[in-house]
Every structure is written in structure tokens, then in C-alpha cells.
Amino acid sequence: MMRISAAVEALVPEMTAWRHHLHAHPELGYEEHGTQAFVAGKLKEFGVDEVVTGMAGTGVVGVIRGKRPGNRSIGLRADMDALPITELTGKPYASTNPGRMHACGHDGHTTMLLGAARHLSQSRDFAGSVVLIFQPAEEGGAGARKMIEDGLFERFPVEVVYGMHNWPQMPLGSFAMHRGPVMAATDEIRIEIAGKGCHAAMPHTGVDPVVAAAQLVSALQNIISRETDPMDRAVLSITAINAGSAFNVVPDTATLKGTVRTFRADTRKRVVGRIREMVEAFAKAFGVAMELHHREGYPPTINHDEQAAFGAEVAAGIVGEPNVARDQLPSMGGEDFSFMLEKVPGAYIWMGVGGAEEGRILHNAKYDFNDAALPVGVSWWTGLVERHLSAG
Ligand code: NI
């Protein structure tokens, strides 16, 4: 039995229409011009006190002040970008932008924060201010970092910041909060291997980059399985091996690509350092030239204890204590809300939306955000605000 207020329940038809509009018009990171105009237009229509566009290009920030005076503040963040996927849902509101799709439910995230904006701008039943953060480019573009670089927290200082992601592996009417680590640090690696091509029947006349690459792929796993404390968490996945094209030619070069996922800063540094050492050693051992290219992705997403407990408590007020996991195991995925949690205390929660049992999972061409979750998410946002800003 979920506790959703009549005022929030009344927003459902309108929110569903917004969600379907956003779903039909997905835009990739930093291209969210239509979404930005839609969000800013709605916020102005609701009478939100300040509406600022242009941070990180396509970002939108709204500020709502409560009817009671107060200097306290809270930030709520939603991501707006879609993915380069061709939609296969067959829904009447399916993507009208070829090769673009809201397959991660960010259309739902944007809609729920708009719903909260609508409710809070009417009720204003709090003391202080709410900063609504609609960020671009969560999917690899580090839109959160860009907004911070553009002065988000200087211009709109907040005491705390919260984020949310829909989670199809958990049933509707449930939430999961993490104590500490939520999502991993993401790093990309590319290893370029240069040997000397030759006739495959006469390998001794060249230097084979394929054999060197193959042995390196296996050896790299040692860094995780033998050198990393099993109670720590790390993943190293080589995800691409490219070399050659013929049956009887040893190619000149080979390229490996992969990702490294970690939680602790020292583990992250050590794993990448050990990859570099192995690359250098293998180059020497196999007589090839090897070069490691490393690109730092998102930092780990780490919840702050006090805000994680508070966010879980608000969730329990909506769906009931038994439906809130307060000590969820982290995921090795990445999330750029991490940049905000590095600057401001806060927490990031998973909201159950169901659907995974039918194969509808995030980043899948058949994914569609569950509209029944809209009032649940709005209730969490408004609950955080009304409780955090209950007294000036
Ligand atoms: Ni996402």
C-alpha cells in the first residue's frame, strides 16, 4: 500500500502526457535543445521563481522559494539525455528521432522532477529554497561535471543534493539505498600493439602482434583475481580485440579496448598502474611496441551517510519500511551524479519500476519507463523537500 497524496495523484494524467512527449522526442547528450525548451517552458508556466538555461549548454536550473522564510536549501537532480539506440517498443509514443531513444528512463526522471516542480510551486509548504537541476549528458558526456564547471553550486548553493534512477530489476513500490558506494569509477583503456606483418606461413620473418595481444588479455585478469583484495571490488573487461583481416597474413598491428571499474581511489590507481607495467613488460617480452591510452571516466558514486539515511526514511514513508533496502550492494555501472556528490553532501537512490522479468531492462531497445512510477518518484522528491525544509 503506497502513500501518495491526492495532490500528487492528480498530476498523473498530465505527467503521463509530458513523459510520452519526451519519450517521442529523445535527444543525445548536449543536444537536448527541444527538451531544454520543454522543461524551461513548463517551469515558467508553473510560476517557478527563477528559471536559468544554458549551464552546460542544454541544462536547466529552476529555483522555488517556500512560503515560509528560511536560508536552508536542497538540490534535486534529473538527467535528460537519451541513447543512440533504435527503439523497438512499438509504442504509439515511440521515438520520432531515428537512432535516438530514451532507453534509460531519463524521460521519466525529467518528468518526475517537473511533477515535483509543479507540486512544490503550488504548495510552497516549506521554508527556504529548492534548486531543480535538469542536467544534460549523463550517458558518458559528464554533463554534471560541466554544470559544476559552469558554476552550478556557486550560483545556486545547496546544503544537500539528491539524485534518483529508475531500476527495472526491483518491483514498483520499492526503493534501494546504498550505504557508501553506489556505482563504480569508470576508466577506459586502449592498448595499441605494433609488430611487423608477414606471411602467416613464415612467422619468424615478422613480429606477431596477435599472439602478444592474446597473452596480454589473459594476463591482465591477474590484476583483479590475484592482486586485488576479494573484499574490495574491481572489474577489468577487455571488450574489443581488433587485428588483421586475412587467413594467411600476420598483421602489423592489434588494438585492445576495455574498461576498468573500481570504488577506491588507491585501487583505481593501482589497477591502472599495473596495466601500464604489464603493457611495458609484454612489449619487451614479445618484441612489439605497445602503448597504453588511459581515459578517466566518472569518479565512484559514494553516498553520504546522513543523507542516505534521510533519503531511505522518506522512501519508507511512501512505500513502507519493508520495501526499502537500506544497504543495497553497489553496481559496477557508472553515474555522473558522482561529480555532484564530490562537492555537496547527498545521496542517490534506486526506485523500483519493474519490467526486468519481461526483459525490459535499461539500455535495451524495448525499454519504456513505467508511468505508474511517476507519482512514487514525485512523492520522494516532495517528501525530501518538505522534510528537509520543514523549519527555517
Ligand atoms: Ni540512466
- For the stretch 136-190, pLDDT in tens is 999 989 999 999 999 999 999 999 999 999 999 999 999 999 999 999 999 999 9
Give the distance (Å) from ligand 1 centre to CA of residue 82.
9
pLDDT band at 392 (very low <50, low <70, confident <90, very high): low
Please state whether beta strands 160-167 and 181-183 pair in parallel, antiparallel, or not at all (unpaired).
Answer: unpaired
144's grid cell: 554534471
234's grid cell: 574491481
CB 378 within 8 A of CB 8: yes
Give the distance (Å) from ligand 1 centre to CA of residue 197.
43
Would you say residue 19 has pLDDT above 80?
yes
Give the distance (Å) from ligand 1 centre to CA of residue 106.
6
Give the distance (Å) from ligand 1 centre to CA of residue 138.
7
What span, in angstroms and rounded, lies between the C-alpha atoms of 308 and 341? 12
**Cα Rg, the chain, nearest whole Å:** 24
Give the distance (Å) from ligand 1 centre to CA of residue 91.
20
pLDDT band at 200 (very low <50, low <70, confident <90, very high): very high
Give the distance (Å) from ligand 1 centre to CA of residue 362.
7
pTM above 0.75, yes or no: yes
When pLDDT is averaged across residues 80-88 and rounded to a whole number, the result is 97
Would you say residue 391 has pLDDT above 80?
no
Please state whether beta strands 346-352 and 175-176 pair in parallel, antiparallel, or not at all (unpaired).
Answer: antiparallel
Strand segments, DSSP code E, in 174-263 are 175-176, 181-183, 185-194, 198-199, 234-243, 249-250, 253-262
Give the distance (Å) from ligand 1 centre to CA of residue 112.
14
Which residues are CB-neighbours of 277 under 8 A, at least 6 positions away? Answer: none
Domain spans in the chain, listed from the N-terminal domain onward: 6-183+300-388, 185-296
When pLDDT is averaged across residues 331-348 and rounded to a whole number, the result is 96
User: pLDDT, tens digit, for every residue of 33-47?
Assistant: 999 999 999 999 999
What span, in angstroms and rounded, lies between the C-alpha atoms of 156 and 41? 20
Which superfamily does 6-183+300-388 belong to? Zn peptidases (3.40.630.10)
Task: Please name which of 168, 190, 311, 186 lies closest in space to residue 239, comparing C-alpha atoms.
Answer: 190
What span, in angstroms and rounded, lies between the C-alpha atoms of 258 and 268? 14
User: pLDDT, tens digit, for every residue of 115-143?
Assistant: 999 999 999 999 999 999 999 999 989 99
Give the distance (Å) from ligand 1 centre to CA of residue 164.
9
pLDDT band at 387 (very low <50, low <70, confident <90, very high): very high
**Residue 371 half-sphere exposure, CB side, CA atoms within 13 Å?**
15
316's grid cell: 519508507
CB 337 within 8 A of CB 144: yes
Give the distance (Å) from ligand 1 centre to CA of residue 392.
34
Give the distance (Å) from ligand 1 centre to CA of residue 220.
29
Give the distance (Å) from ligand 1 centre to CA of residue 370.
14
Would you say residue 100 has pLDDT above 70?
yes
CB 110 within 8 A of CB 78: yes
Give the distance (Å) from ligand 1 centre to CA of residue 212.
37
308-312 long-range contacts, CB within 8 A, separation 24+: 308/177, 308/178, 308/179, 308/180, 308/347, 310/347, 310/384, 310/387, 310/388, 311/162, 311/177, 311/347, 311/349, 311/380, 311/384, 312/175, 312/177, 312/349
Give the distance (Å) from ligand 1 centre to CA of residue 107.
10
Give the distance (Å) from ligand 1 centre to CA of residue 23.
14
When pLDDT is averaged across residues 254-276 and rounded to a whole number, the result is 97
Give the distance (Å) from ligand 1 centre to CA of residue 104.
5
pLDDT of residue 3: 94
pLDDT of residue 69: 87
Work out the percent of the chain whose per-residue pLDDT is above 70.
100
pLDDT of residue 1: 73
Chain centroid to Cα 229, Å, comes to 26
CB 156 within 8 A of CB 130: no
Give the distance (Å) from ligand 1 centre to CA of residue 137.
10
Give the distance (Å) from ligand 1 centre to CA of residue 277.
34
Would you say residue 339 has pLDDT above 80?
yes
Give the distance (Å) from ligand 1 centre to CA of residue 27.
14
No. of helices (H) and no. of strands (E), the chain: 11, 16
Same fold, 6-183+300-388 and 185-296: no
CATH of domain 185-296: 3.30.70.360
Q: Is 167 exposed, middle or buried (0-12, 13-18, 19+ CB in 10 A)?
A: buried
When pLDDT is averaged across residues 316-334 and rounded to a whole number, the result is 96
Give the distance (Å) from ligand 1 centre to CA of residue 238.
23
